[in-house]
Amino acid sequence: MIKNKFTFLLFFLGGTLFLFPSFNGDGWGMVREYNYRGWQTTSERVVVARLAKSQQDGLFSAGGLLGLLDAPDGWVFGAEIANRQYELYETGQPIQSYLVYKSHPGFQGLVFGLFDRLTNFPASTNLAIFRGTVAFVSSIVIALIAAAMAVEFGWLAGVLLLLFAAVSEWTILPAGSLYWNLWAFFLPFVCGMYLLADASKKNDYPAFKIYLVILITVWIKILFTGFEIITTALVMATVPFVYFAIRDRWEWKNFFQRATMLGVSLVLATMAGLGTLILQITAADGSLKSGIYYVRDTFIRRAAGNADEFRGQYAESLGASYAEVIGKYLNTPAFSISDVSILYWHLIVMFALFTLLYLFRHRKAIHANFSRTGMALMIATWYSMLAPLSWYVIFKPTSYIHTFLFPMAWQMPFTLLGFALCGYVIQDLFRSKTAQLTY
């Protein structure tokens, strides 16, 4: 017990401190594919615009939604319009117009805006505080995952997970972003993992508590990150249930009951998020129909539309094949070693080889009264691959267009668990070798 507490604290505290420099401004310079600050500016410009809007017109003006200031040409990208958002926030110049971004509740704008109004700090200082806070909380959440992996599967599982999280640009980029708030995506997964571990230890399943926490944390995810990669987050929240169902040999009746209640919780949380967004759009536009129609039209455009009804990139994205879209993300660099890029399909092959190695070494014991920890980890890891795939398949059009954003879905939590699996298998291999030498 003491050893487990020491391992947990070591990985939690050490992991947080280890990840923070990487998450807070790419301190180690691991982002290679994109200009770090340019990528951040493109996404967080709508949050900065919200801060300026809240300064001048109040926290709940325009429904509290994110947006874009003084943008006569609409939703355009480019350094000039992005820099304009920072200029208006930092100088306090009068806002001429505010283009509302209706796809995201933007609650970070409310939280940061409240802090901004309660302090007399310069805008540049506040931005540094906000980015540092988001990076720190993201570091804590990933460190909690690493600590759980180290306690459950051995120190190497936690070490490899931390190393990958610290060097992969698709963890680094969203981890310190005011828009993306990486921590929020993992919150339901982490809470579910620790709640189920505690329930397993006490041999008591507090159903109401577990489902209420999952519902609230998924709702928080939506409030702070909108419906970005929503299916990935929802599937990710189910992964701990798959792991403990296998490890603890849940009866089929209990498994189906718990899976059903989990599904209900996820649906209710999603509906709560949608309801919140619709109310915000209603407050901004003065029309309930406006909110409902926007949500409907956005879903059609990003997921279920007919290519013949659109033009340009929307028509192209709706007509793209699933293989084409998934292929783009399989060939995305996960991280780089010197000048060599390791692609996501390389990682998948590596995870498969370690899986086969473990199965081969324990091929006889698997059919006996074998410890189910390793088997549960393997099944949960490969099951978690459905999380990113769900987004690439269901929201194929937006995945096709925004390839500079959604490789991060691979980390949620498939590749993190994949590295934990590799660490577990390596330690298992050395344990077997040590046992043979001792014998």
Q: How far apart are CA 82 and CA 88, in angstroms?
A: 10
Q: How far apart are CA 434 and CA 304, in angstroms?
A: 55
pLDDT tens digits, residue range 262-311? 999 999 999 999 999 999 999 998 888 888 888 887 777 666 655 555 56
Greatest C-alpha distance within the chain:
79
- 3 state DSSP class of 408: helix
Which residue's entry shows tokens 């190695």?
357
Q: How far apart are CA 324 and CA 334, in angstroms?
A: 18
Give the count of beta carbons closer than 10 Å to the beta carbon of residue 110: 18
Q: How far apart are CA 23 and CA 317, in angstroms?
A: 32
- 3 state DSSP class of 363: coil
Q: Model-level pTM?
A: 0.93
Q: Decide if 418 contacts 351 (C-beta within 8 A).
A: yes
Which residue's entry shows tokens 């269901």?
394
Element (H, E) at 334: strand 333-337
Q: Which residues, 6+ apart, have CB-to-CB distance to 256 below 8 Å?
A: none
Which amino acid, 92?
G
Catalogue the long-range contacts made by 196-199 (C-beta closer than 8 Å, 24 or more residues apart).
196/240, 196/241, 196/243, 196/244, 197/148, 197/152, 197/244, 199/244
DSSP 309: G
Which amino acid, 278?
I
Q: What is the DSSP string of 22-40?
A: HHTT-TT----SS-HHHHH
Q: How far apart are CA 173 and CA 25, in angstroms?
A: 9
Over its length of 439 residues, how does the chain's per-residue pLDDT go in tens digits?
Answer: 566 899 999 999 999 999 999 999 999 989 987 888 889 988 899 999 999 999 999 999 999 999 999 887 777 777 788 888 999 999 989 999 999 999 899 999 999 999 999 998 999 999 999 999 999 999 999 999 999 999 999 999 999 999 999 999 999 999 999 999 999 999 999 999 999 999 999 999 999 999 999 999 999 999 999 999 999 999 999 999 999 999 999 999 999 999 999 999 999 999 999 999 999 999 998 888 888 888 887 777 666 655 555 566 767 777 788 999 999 999 999 998 888 899 999 999 999 999 999 998 877 665 544 568 999 999 999 999 999 999 999 999 889 988 899 999 999 999 999 999 999 999 988 875 554 443 3
Q: Which residues, 6+ apart, have CB-to-CB distance to 12 below 8 Å?
A: 140, 143, 144, 146, 147
- 3 state DSSP class of 106: coil
